[in-house]
Amino acid sequence: MKKRTCRVLVVDDSAFIRQYLKEIINQTEDLEVVGTAADPLKAIQILKKTDVDVITLDVEMPNMDGLDFLRYLMKFRPLPVVMISSWTQANSDIAVQALALGAVDVVAKPTLGLLSGMEKIKTEIIEKIRTAAQASIVRSPLVAEPPASPDSTALLVKSDGLKITTDKIVAIGASTGGTVALTEICKQLHPDVPGLLIIQHLPAMFTSSFANSLNQIARIRVKEAEDGELITSGLALIVPGDRSLTIQKSGAKYVAKLGPKLKDSIYNPSINHTLFSVAQVAGVNAMGIILTGMGDDGAAGLRAMREKGAYTICQDEKTSVIYGMPQKAWENKAAVKQVPLSKIAEEIHRWAGIK
């Protein structure tokens, strides 16, 4: 008898996908499908009478789409969710929205050659379900009622990233759960905050949409990084998926240098790769932050930053969806302080001298 430690509910309107996911999940020793549903309404009925640890969820389904169901879950019964859908560049905004609503991760379902395509991503699906099972899920801040219209002055102070230059720089690395964490941080940042580099583990098709979503809620500018771009105050650059990024000094300013995907790293973009560069180029004028995520990417780079005199912190365990990356940074003595998510923007302001 196989030992079952993670109970999975599969929600997808395709009978083939439901059966395929059930088979590959039940073939593992630590996962078990305890139910399948063709739409969210049937899934709700299963949840009422069955203990579930992780849900795999499609987007386009009858009766209620996946995003509406995700909102329902995060409000009434927060559970780890892995979105499995036919993501394309055209609907990558939906993937980013799903992550912002609280989904732990997303998997791109093949659009052609379904069986052979699913076989290629089988390992990815299993690993992301396992990661989701370790996630600490709380109600997503985006599930709450939307706030009143933003004060007009808040819109007017949105920086164009060029009015004020600074020789300080903030580098933030994140993975699983990072999209929600970065959303909360960016909403709180002052328009004159030093230039930021954000290294979030995301596929290439999602980083531009994620940057756009942050830009809509922040008082700073947020965009996907371009090669040769100046890193100035009031501007946050997100490293594109499947690329690498380092920085160079140009007078008192910093310049982003994009490179190809790293062949010797399982992470692209690589947090370590960027943080090593920041350590060498910016030294004491840099601040490094490691947020929620699985694995150890960023721990070595953050340690290098600390050794060069940078101020380094990591997210605390209580507010991390996955404590893996912050824990490794802390154990590696890379971070001088563990900070709850709600206080990280405040920590950036304090370091930058912003009141």
Q: Of 95, 45, 46, 93, nearest to 70 (Cα)?
A: 95
Q: Is it the case that residue 148 has pLDDT exceeding 90?
A: no
The confidence score (pLDDT) of residue 154 equals 38
What are the phi and psi torsion angles at 201 (to 5°)?
Answer: -65, 105
| pLDDT band with cut points at 50, 70 and 90 for residue 155 | very low
108 and 171 share one domain: no
Could you say which of 92, 297, 316, 320 is catalytic? 297
Asked which of 133, 163, 193 is the last residue of a domain, the reply is 133
What are the phi and psi torsion angles at 270 (to 5°)?
Answer: -100, 125
76 and 104 share one domain: yes
The confidence score (pLDDT) of residue 193 equals 96
67: CB partners within 8 A, 6+ apart:
59, 94, 97, 98, 101
Q: pLDDT tens-digit profile of 318-337?
A: 999 999 999 999 999 999 99
Coil, helix or strand at residue 161:
coil
- Tokens linked to 74: 């995060």
Stretch 150-178: mean pLDDT? 64
Could you say which of 175, 208, 209, 320 is catalytic? 175
| Residue 12 belongs to domain with CATH number | 3.40.50.2300
| pLDDT band with cut points at 50, 70 and 90 for residue 165 | very low
Asked which of 80, 106, 133 is the last residue of a domain, the reply is 133
Could you say which of 39, 58, 92, 201 is catalytic? 201
75 and 109 share one domain: yes
| pLDDT band with cut points at 50, 70 and 90 for residue 143 | low
Percent of the chain clearing pLDDT 70 (strictly above): 90
164 and 289 share one domain: yes
Known catalytic residue at 175: yes
The confidence score (pLDDT) of residue 274 equals 98
The confidence score (pLDDT) of residue 140 equals 57
Stretch 53-68: mean pLDDT? 90
126 and 168 share one domain: no
The confidence score (pLDDT) of residue 158 equals 52
160 and 291 share one domain: yes
In this structure, is residue 141 part of a structural domain?
A: no
Known catalytic residue at 349: no
Q: Is it the case that residue 306 has pLDDT exceeding 90?
A: yes
Stretch 172-197: mean pLDDT? 96
Is residue 13 a contact partner of residue 40, using CB atoms and an 8 Å limit? no
In this structure, is residue 140 part of a structural domain?
A: no
| pLDDT band with cut points at 50, 70 and 90 for residue 142 | low
94: CB partners within 8 A, 6+ apart:
59, 67, 85, 87
The confidence score (pLDDT) of residue 3 equals 58
- Number of domains the chain contains: 2
Range of the domain at 64: 6-133
Q: pLDDT tens-digit profile of 9-26?
A: 999 999 999 999 999 999
| pTM for this model (two decimals) | 0.86
193 and 322 share one domain: yes
Known catalytic residue at 190: no
What is the average pLDDT value for the chain, to the nearest integer? Answer: 89
335 and 242 share one domain: yes
97 and 157 share one domain: no
115 and 160 share one domain: no
108 and 191 share one domain: no
Q: Is it the case that residue 105 has pLDDT exceeding 80?
A: yes
In this structure, is residue 16 part of a structural domain?
A: yes
| pLDDT band with cut points at 50, 70 and 90 for residue 89 | low
| pLDDT band with cut points at 50, 70 and 90 for residue 147 | very low
Percent of the chain clearing pLDDT 90 (strictly above): 77
In DSSP terms, which residues pair with 340 in a beta bridge?
none
